[in-house]
């Protein structure tokens, strides 16, 4: 699993650091790559700056430059990227955001936790469902 690449797209540095810490401390290592917005992600994917596509993209919604909805729309309408699993991890638990993401093609919608133990559980579910699945 150490060879599996996970892209995390989130403009909140605290959330990026928290995700990095949990992935590193609690799970077999995988390669994490962080982006502050959708434009950075799409540049990397379009120019194939990594040797292979990620096992999963974890995508926030509220970001500058190119938000999560716009990024998701681009990913799922591009034949080169539409098969990459994309999990929305957002602060919003609004049902219309969840419905919109489902319509745009997200593979899963998760709401960010507020307490550290719950964050660990959330990342564990992400890891089991998307990173370990990529290994099979």
Task: State the DSSP string of 35-97.
Answer: ESSHHHHHHHHHTT-SSS--SEEEE-SS-SSS-HHHHHHHHHTSTTTTTS-EEEEES---HHH
Q: Tokens 């609690």 label which residue? A: 26
List the domain range (segments joined by +) for residue 131: 5-135
pLDDT score recorded for residue 28: 74
pLDDT score recorded for residue 1: 43
- Convert the pLDDT of each residue in 93-123 to its tens digit: 999 999 999 999 999 999 999 999 999 999 9
pLDDT score recorded for residue 30: 83
pLDDT score recorded for residue 29: 73
- pTM (whole model) above 0.95: no
Give, in order, the Cα–Cα distances in Å from 49 to each of 3, 42, 106.
Answer: 16, 10, 23
Q: How many domains does the chain have?
A: 1
Question: Digits of tens for pLDDT over the chain (136 positions)?
Answer: 456 899 999 999 999 999 999 998 888 778 899 999 999 999 999 988 778 889 999 999 999 999 999 999 999 999 999 999 999 999 999 999 999 999 999 999 999 999 999 999 999 999 989 988 765 5
pLDDT score recorded for residue 76: 97
CATH code (residue 89) = 3.40.50.2300
């Amino acid at each position: 699993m150490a060879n599996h690449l996970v892209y995390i797209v989130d403009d909140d540095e605290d959330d990026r650091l928290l995700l990095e810490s949990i992935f590193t401390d609690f799970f077999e290592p995988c390669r994490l790559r962080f982006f502050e917005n959708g434009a950075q992600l799409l540049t990397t994917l379009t120019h194939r700056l990594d040797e292979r596509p990620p096992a999963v993209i974890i995508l926030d919604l509220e970001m500058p430059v190119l938000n999560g909805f716009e990024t998701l729309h681009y990913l799922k309408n591009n034949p080169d990227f539409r098969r990459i699993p994309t999990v929305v991890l957002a602060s919003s638990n609004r049902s219309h955001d969840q419905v919109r993401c489902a319509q745009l093609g997200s593979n899963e919608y998760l709401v960010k936790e507020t307490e550290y133990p719950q964050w660990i559980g959330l990342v564990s579910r992400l890891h089991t469902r998307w990173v370990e699945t990529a290994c099979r």
